[in-house]
């Protein structure tokens, strides 16, 4: 656009120069006398009138051209301003007005081109519970909270705060005074975590920080920023409102994690994941009524990767749906070989409860395998309901309409409320193993279990006690009226082939053991 403006100005200058030249030539050669003589000679052709018309037309054209040039200049100015705004938008986050990742890259490139020798402290910051606020209260509150956090950070790091992702920010501090970065990180946490008041609602925001130093932790600023991300991951593992400094061991662990992700994807592609089955026993009839399918990944004979690790990998890499479908399809095929009254219990990741197609995926697999929906029980955890309550309610209702049973897993360890128990179509509550382990030694815990049993009975919901490992626990749970038991005492997880060998459909021998001898 500046080139176009110069082009128009050049044309005006040429026109004005031509006018001056003609004026000078006219003065030098008596242009007026020659012109009047020409008019007199050709009076019969109205030459003077024609000349006047040409002059007037020229002036009108000139005036019109000046108006158009003025309009075009304004339009050019507007376009230049629009380009500036577009450039600003491309380099900034529209919500917080903070520089974005692209602007950070420009900053790094400028430092490299100018051979900037400034020492920098790099703080990678993540806002905890940011998505929960959006899910529970809406995007307006989330946006306002993020803006306030951005202002707090700018107060501590003027002009050096960047927005990287939805809940991640990065701050750069010239570290020429060798500031104690650990203490500074603690100050940042306190600043961010100060209560936020919006519309009479108080929000307590959590955060984690990973920090690294340039050039001490790397001669490339980009690499140091990556190192701060490593440190942030360790800070997250340490708990809420924690900060961690980068060290070289972190990078080694990240490389190991990258290798695990590679191995996981390879195993998924080769369908190396299998299902083991743990009995679910009716404590009143003392008969096995079902099995819970448990995922297993055997990387070497007798050596397994714990499920919580590879399930987390599946969630992080976006492969949880594919893994679940593989395992559910396998489990349903295995369960077709069981007696018709034996049910299959299958766990669903909390991440998947945000998938609006989850119900249709499950029913499609049942139809493909030919497994009856009424023999399938889906287990979800309490935290799964918090991700998107409306989607979770709709998904569970669709599953119930198909005849699939729903169990609430790990009951008592999350955020369940009476309203959730009333509003969601649960068929079973599974009391977490942490209660079963010590309820005989803790009167309050036993009373809590009694309360759960009473509540479940009132809601016509069965109760499953997980983690039964001692006969005394089994007998006491029977006395309290618990419906179903599960645990190593009643049967360890085993592959499909072992089910046929052990024939666990009847287990009266366990119930006949002497409690004292069986401890």
Rounded distance, CA 437 to CA 439, Å? 6
Residue 144 annotated as catalytic: no
Q: Nearest-5° angle of CA 380, CA 383, CA 389?
A: 85
Q: Which residues contact 97 (CB under 8 A, 6 or more apart)?
A: 150
Q: Which of 423, 418, 478, 403 is nearest to 452 (CA)?
A: 418
- CA distances for 417 relative to 20, 283, 405, angstroms: 90, 27, 20
Selecting among 286, 292, 382, 466, the annotated active-site residue is 466
How far apart CA 465 and CA 477 sit, in angstroms, is 8
Spatial separation of the C-alpha atoms in residues 405 and 464, rounded to whole Å: 14
Query: Under 8 Å CB-to-CB from 78, ≥6 apart: which residues?
Result: none
As a whole number of Å, the CA-based R_g of the chain is 38
- The structure tokens listed for 489 are 């005492």
Q: In which element (H, E) is residue 213 found? A: strand 206-214
The strand pairing partners of 124, in sequence order, are 170, 210
Residues 401, 476: Cα–Cα separation, whole Å: 36
Catalytic residue ranges = 466
């Amino acid at each position: 656009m500046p080139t176009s403006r110069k082009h128009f100005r050049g044309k005006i200058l040429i026109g004005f120069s031509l006018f001056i030249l003609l004026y000078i030539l006219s003065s030098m050669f008596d242009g007026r006398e020659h012109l009047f003589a020409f008019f007199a000679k050709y009076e019969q052709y109205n030459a003077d009138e024609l000349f006047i018309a040409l002059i007037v037309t020229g002036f009108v054209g000139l005036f019109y051209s000046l108006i158009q040039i003025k309009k075009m200049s304004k339009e050019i100015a507007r376009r230049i301003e629009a380009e500036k705004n577009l450039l600003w938008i491309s380099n900034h986050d529209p919500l917080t007005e903070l520089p974005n990742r692209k602007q950070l890259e420009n900053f790094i490139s400028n430092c490299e081109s100018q051979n900037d020798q400034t020492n920098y402290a790099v703080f990678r910051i993540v806002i905890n519970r940011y998505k929960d606020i959006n899910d529970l209260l809406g995007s307006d509150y989330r946006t306002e909270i993020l803006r306030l956090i951005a202002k707090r950070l700018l107060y501590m790091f003027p002009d050096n705060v960047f927005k990287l992702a939805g809940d991640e920010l990065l701050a750069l501090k010239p570290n020429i005074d060798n500031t104690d970065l650990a203490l500074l990180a603690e100050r940042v946490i306190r600043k961010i975590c100060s209560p936020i008041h919006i519309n009479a609602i108080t929000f307590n925001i959590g955060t984690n920080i990973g920090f690294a130093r340039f050039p001490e932790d790397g001669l490339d600023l980009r690499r140091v920023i990556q190192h701060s991300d490593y440190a942030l991951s360790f800070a997250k593992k340490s708990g809420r409102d924690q900060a961690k400094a980068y060290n070289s061991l972190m990078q080694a662990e990240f490389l190991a994690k990258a290798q695990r992700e590679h191995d996981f994807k390879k195993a998924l592609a080769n369908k190396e994941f299998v299902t083991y089955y743990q009995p679910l026993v009716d404590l009143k009839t003392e008969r096995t009524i079902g099995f819970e399918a448990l995922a297993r990944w055997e990387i070497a004979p007798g050596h397994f990767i714990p499920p919580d690790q590879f399930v987390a990998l599946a969630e992080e890499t976006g492969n949880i749906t594919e893994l679940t479908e593989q395992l559910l399809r396998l489990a349903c095929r295995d369960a077709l070989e069981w007696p018709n009254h034996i049910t299959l219990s299958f766990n669903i990741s909390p991440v998947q409860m945000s998938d609006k197609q989850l119900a249709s995926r499950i029913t499609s697999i049942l139809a493909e395998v030919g497994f009856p929906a009424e023999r399938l029980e889906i287990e979800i955890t309490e935290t799964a309901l918090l991700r998107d309550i409306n989607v979770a309610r709709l998904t569970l209702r669709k599953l119930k309409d198909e005849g699939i049973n729903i169990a609430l897993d790990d009951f008592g360890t999350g955020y369940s409320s009476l309203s959730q128990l009333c509003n969601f179509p649960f068929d079973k509550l599974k009391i977490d193993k942490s209660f079963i382990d010590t309820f005989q030694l803790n009167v309050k815990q036993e009373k809590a279990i009694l309360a759960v049993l009473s509540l479940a009975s009132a809601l016509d919901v069965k109760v499953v006690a997980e983690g039964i490992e001692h006969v005394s626990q089994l007998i006491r749970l029977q006395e309290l009226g618990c419906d179903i038991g599960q645990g190593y005492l009643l049967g360890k997880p085993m592959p499909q082939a072992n089910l046929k060998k052990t024939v666990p459909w009847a287990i009266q021998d366990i119930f006949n053991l002497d409690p004292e001898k069986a401890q």
